[in-house]
Structure 1
Amino acid sequence: MPSTNGTDGKVRGGANGLALFVIASCQLMVVLDITIVNIALPHIQSDLGFSTEDLSWVVNAYTLTFGGLLLLGGRAGDILGRRRVFIFGVLLFGLASLLGGFAQNDAQLMAARALQGVGGAIASPTSLALITTTFKEGPERNRAFGVFAAVSAGGGAIGLLAGGMLVTWLDWRWVLFVNVPIALLIALMATRVIRESEPHPGHFDLAGALTSTLGMVALVYGFIRASQEGWRDGVTLGSFALAVVLLAAFVLIERRSPQPITPLHMFADRNRAGTYGMMLFLACAIFGMFFFLTLFVQNVLGFSPLRAGLAFLPVSAVIAVGAGLTSHLLPRFGPKPFMVIGALCSAAGLAWLTLTDVDSTYLGSILGPMLLFALGMGMQFVSLTLMALSNVPDRESGAASGLLNAMQQVGGSLGLSILVTVFGTASRTEAEQQVPAFLAQATPAERILFERTGRLPDPWGDYVLTSGVSAAFVTAAIFTLVAAVIALFAIQVRPSDLARLQGNHAPTAV
């Protein structure tokens, strides 16, 4: 048993490093899984027979349950004991990964990804909270928070590269199987190096968690259904109606709950409400950019999964540079200029990407706008995190930071569904123009295959995909422009706010 210091329950000595390794490894596994699957999407699509619109559910099934249940997961750790809940979440994540790796059809894979999201929502906020119960307040805890933040920021890049290697050298199923031994090792080590926290009696807002998550699922499904069947389809309209009812019920439940999963008074402060709004729209853009660029570079440019993973690494590097410069200059200029300029840079990068066509090259047409987009995102991530804690008492800092994370995941799912709808509409329009040209020179065998599958072969298929991707980027650019408008008119930062936030104010989990 590791030694402790008095009655504070903080783990001391060499066990501190092992505890941080376990906590950071869990966060890396959870964050990495958002992007590691992206590289495998074309292979998943061809192997399991997904349409491009339905393929987005491989991402959405994870992010919706992860974002929707994130705050409930944090509450579970407080009530039941953080180490116990942490281990359960990690093992559930590993089990879901195993089931997903063995999936034989699209429904099985989407169910496994949703279960992964549940495991991630339980483990991720609890791992952050464990830092506060494991490390002494001050420099020691601040360093631990720094490692945690670095892993969270770098996990996306590691996921893209790891996904490329696994798909190239093994099979797409290994982007899921790889989590199983990692989860088992984390759970085993956690029993040895992490002390259990004292449970605190409380209330589980299950009704709020379920209505919010199911409401977002219905909303996302409505958009994706509309891209396939049209806006007048009965199921589409029914999904939107169900979403309105569920989300309205969620608001009523949260207003009356003694311990709501989403403290609605957090939105009363204009800076914080504006920050959440910005994160929602920026997540709409960034999730869509990675989804559609992954398809484009592999299906149109012909990149291998490994080369595609390497192609996205500069994005993470520039995000880190932008975040570092912003952190250095924030005390002088404050967060608002970086929020506005960062959103405009990201919008410009996405607008540049709308110019891509079947003749585009990575160096000539993709890399430049990706880096401009990444620079803008790096400028905003630091500022948004800072502003999310503006005027928040210490006892509510966990709820404030947790809501920011939830807005990112939910916004990413909602935005991706909207972009998929735009993609589907533009693709169908382009396909109607390309079909006559294809049929005019198709062989009998090609005609039969087209009639059977409804898919145009290349290069006609490339024209269809590129047209849809370009239209999606137009909408993504609009999302980031909305974020810039919110930053310009909603954010108001006083010098006293900035001075307080630049101190030792470290976030804790819900």
Structure 2
Amino acid sequence: MSAVIESPVRATRTVHSRWTSLAILCAGTLMTILDGNIVTVAMPAIQSDLGFSASGLAWVVNAYLIPFGGLLLLAGRLGDLVGRKRMFTAGLAVFTAASVLCGVADSPGVLIAARALQGFGGAMTTAVVLGMLVSLFPEPREQAGAIAVFSAVGAAGGALGTFLGGALTEALNWHWIFLINLPIGVAAWVAAVRVLDREPGAGLGRGADYPGAALVTGALMLTVYTIVGSGERDLSATLSLAATAAALFVAFTVRQARTERPLLRLRLFRSRLLTGANAVQVLMIATMYGFQFIGALYLQRVLGYGELLTGTAFLPAPIVIGVLMLGLSARTIGRFGAYRVLLAGLVLITAGTALLGRVPAQGSYMTDVLPAMLLLSVGFAAAMPALTGLAMSGAREEDAGVASGLFNTTQVVGGSLGLAALSVLAASRTEELLGEGAAVVAATAEGYQLAFRVAAVVAAGALVLAAAVLRPRR
């Protein structure tokens, strides 16, 4: 009789513990996502204070993206081997320490080195989160709710970073966009150590393919470097770097097929859901990152917004995304299925981006930007949790860490690709029009129009691919 009475209490405590663990995972993830965007609005202040050149300033972003994107897959696999909690807490410690170094940097070299260290810590923290989440919530309905919460934090964090970057830079100075991570990071680390369940892992002797790790990490870093720096070098150099990265990927694939203990089991790619969801994510994230970057530039350079006003203008996005993901996402997916919800979200993303392709030089935030932003926000709130659930449902438990790392890797590659391609398109079109004698604001606006129209085509491609590849089988 006593066992019957104690069981519900124990079960309730377990439920509370799992949701507390989810909150800790979300806090760690939010820090890394915020830091990917928070510097965007503060870049002019950083350049003025530290004396960055115009080309060197891009490395404040690139120095973070390259190790972050390059190490996600390796960090995910190592999390499976040494324990995901250990990898997560170590990543939090590295990221927090690097944030302090960024905040006290007094030269370009110190800031770039500290940003690279942040990228290492961010990869360690982010790579294992989805694997831990799937283990915490194995029941499908609860898992859908947990993924919705996690996706809401991630999606809202991107737009929230733009607001916080402007607010902190204008109210205090740019150093605080990094120093704010110290109390958050310490609190998250202490909570993670005390609350998260320890996962022993399989052991380094059961899958530590170090040559394979070197090949894939080098290939991913070189890929991100090639993408983010494509606008600063000529076509032949970009093609040479891309060919080298492709050769490293081929060498890695050959090794994984032959080695006894591969870093990435190639059978993962036999999963239609995992492979298809990652491919769709590259296109969808390229569109969304392009909107955040090009949209912020349009507000500043065409509409004349300041740093704080630009950040404030983006606030509707995280609010809409957070409310919809937390309030409706899990129930909507449970009722209509992840596939249908994903397609509906991609339709809205395509429509919102196409609407932005009409933004004029004499535009208005309320009529030309906000309606499109709301469409994109609703679409992303629907699509992202559905896509995440489809991707992780295609991985086995023992591969959850590396599948999580793979999903996050395609996110970074898609974002980097979108930023690089769309910003180069916009800049090239603007320069062409300026050469023909067009006014600066008009030429700039038309460059952004072209970028948004191309982004709409990319989003439509994601929709077609998802419809074809991710359809449920009876």
TM range, normalised to the smaller chain?
0.7 to 0.9
Check if 1:378 corresponds to 2:357.
no
**Partners of 2:224 and 2:413 within 8 A in 1:** no
SS of the counterpart of 1:389? Answer: helix
Write 1 or 2 for the structure with the bigger share of helix.
Answer: 2
Inter-CA distance 354–147: structure 2 relative to 1 (3 Å threshold):
closer
Alpha-carbon separation, structure 1, partners of 2:56 and 2:358: 25
Alpha-carbon separation, structure 2, partners of 1:190 and 1:389: 23
**Partners of 1:11 and 1:194 within 8 A in 2:** no
1:481 to 460, 465, 468: 460
Check if 1:472 corresponds to 2:456.
no
Structure-1 residue corresponding to 2:122 = 120
Consecutive unaligned residues in structure 1, runs of 5 or more? 438-459, 496-510
1:31 to 30, 33, 36: 33
State the AA in 1 paired with 2:292: F
What's the CA shift for 1:332?
4.5
Structure 1 segment 425-440 matched on structure 2, within 5 A: 425-434=428-437
Check if 1:400 corresponds to 2:379.
no
Structure-1 residue corresponding to 2:343 = 340
Structure-1 residue corresponding to 2:427 = 424
Check if 1:256 corresponds to 2:235.
no
**Partners of 1:41 and 1:295 within 8 A in 2:** no
**Partners of 1:56 and 1:416 within 8 A in 2:** no
Alpha-carbon separation, structure 1, partners of 2:234 and 2:21: 52
Aligned-residue identity in percent: 35
What's the CA shift for 1:290?
0.8
State the AA in 1 paired with 2:282: L
Alpha-carbon separation, structure 1, partners of 2:141 and 2:456: 41
State the AA in 2 paired with 1:66: F
The normalised TM-score by structure 1 is 0.78
What's the CA shift for 1:343?
2.0
State the AA in 2 paired with 1:480: A
2:441 to 462, 471, 489: 462
What's the CA shift for 1:124?
2.6
2:208 to 204, 221, 233: 204
State the AA in 2 paired with 1:40: A
- Point out the more displaced range, 306-315 or 43-52: 43-52
- Point out the more displaced range, 102-111 or 136-145: 136-145
- Point out the more displaced range, 378-387 or 108-117: 108-117
What's the CA shift for 1:339?
2.8
RMSD: 3.6
SS of the counterpart of 1:260? Answer: coil
Check if 1:92 corresponds to 2:56.
no
What's the CA shift for 1:318?
3.0
1:359 to 359, 362, 384: 362
Structure-2 residue corresponding to 1:445 = none
State the AA in 1 paired with 2:365: Y
Deviations 1:5-43 (A, max 9, x none): 9xx9x9979988876654442222122222222332343
Structure-2 residue corresponding to 1:170 = 172
Alpha-carbon separation, structure 2, partners of 1:100 and 1:81: 29
What's the CA shift for 1:196?
4.2
Alpha-carbon separation, structure 1, partners of 2:13 and 2:213: 33
Alpha-carbon separation, structure 2, partners of 1:63 and 1:350: 25
Structure-1 residue corresponding to 2:231 = 227
Deviations 1:214-234 (A, max 9, x none): 3344344445555344424xx
Structure-2 residue corresponding to 1:387 = 390
Q: Which has the larger radius of gyration?
A: 1
**Partners of 2:356 and 2:369 within 8 A in 1:** yes
Alpha-carbon separation, structure 2, partners of 1:96 and 1:182: 13
**Partners of 1:271 and 1:492 within 8 A in 2:** no
Instruction: Give the aligned length.
Output: 461
What's the CA shift for 1:321?
5.4
Alpha-carbon separation, structure 1, partners of 2:213 and 2:377: 32
Alpha-carbon separation, structure 2, partners of 1:86 and 1:37: 24
Alpha-carbon separation, structure 1, partners of 2:142 and 2:412: 26
Deviations 1:226-283 (A, max 9, x none): 5344424xx3343233222222223223333444343332222333322111101111
Alpha-carbon separation, structure 1, partners of 2:223 and 2:271: 27
Structure-2 residue corresponding to 1:415 = 418
Structure-2 residue corresponding to 1:287 = 289
Deviations 1:183-239 (A, max 9, x none): 23333444444564434313334444443343344344445555344424xx33432
Structure-1 residue corresponding to 2:218 = 214
Alpha-carbon separation, structure 2, partners of 1:16 and 1:222: 40
- Point out the more displaced range, 135-144 or 244-253: 135-144
What's the CA shift for 1:481?
1.4
